[in-house]
Structure 1
C-alpha cells in the first residue's frame, strides 16, 4: 500500500499491486488494473519511488542493503 494525496488535499492509501499505469498530463494520474483512475498531487517520480519501496517491503523486488552489517557465523 502507498500513501498518496488527492488534488483537494485528502490523503488516502492505494494498493500498489493493482497499479497498471502512472502518467502525468500535467497532473499525475494513476490507473488501476480495473480501470479506475486517481489524480494525485505527488509527482510521477514520487509515486514510482513509493511503489518500488512497497514492492521491496513485501519482497516482490530485491531488498537494498542499507549499510547494515549482518553477522556471518
Structure 2
C-alpha cells in the first residue's frame, strides 16, 4: 500500500499492485488495472519511487529478478 494525496489535499492509501500506468498529463494520473483513473498531487517520480519501495518491501522485485536469472 502506498500513501498518496488527492488534488483536494485529502490523503488516501492505494494498493500498488492495482496500478497499471502512471503519467503526467500535466497532473499525475494513475490508471488502475480495472481502467479507473486517479489524479494525485504527488509528482510522477515520487509515485514511481513509492511503488518501487513497496515492491521491494514485499519482495516482489526479487521474485522477478530470480525468475529472470533461472530462464537465461
TM-score range, shorter chain: 0.7 to 0.9
Distance in 1 separating the partners of 2:25 and 2:18 = 21
Residue 14 of structure 1: aligned partner: 14
Structure 2 unaligned segments of length 5 or more: list them.
63-72
TM-score, L = length of structure 1: 0.83
In proportion to residue count, which structure has more helix? 2
Q: Which of structure 1's runs of 4+ aligned residues deviate more than 2 A?
A: none
TM-score, L = length of structure 2: 0.84
1:40-65 per-residue CA deviation (whole Å, 9 max, x = no partner) reads: 00000000000000000000013xxx
Number of residue pairs matched?
A: 62
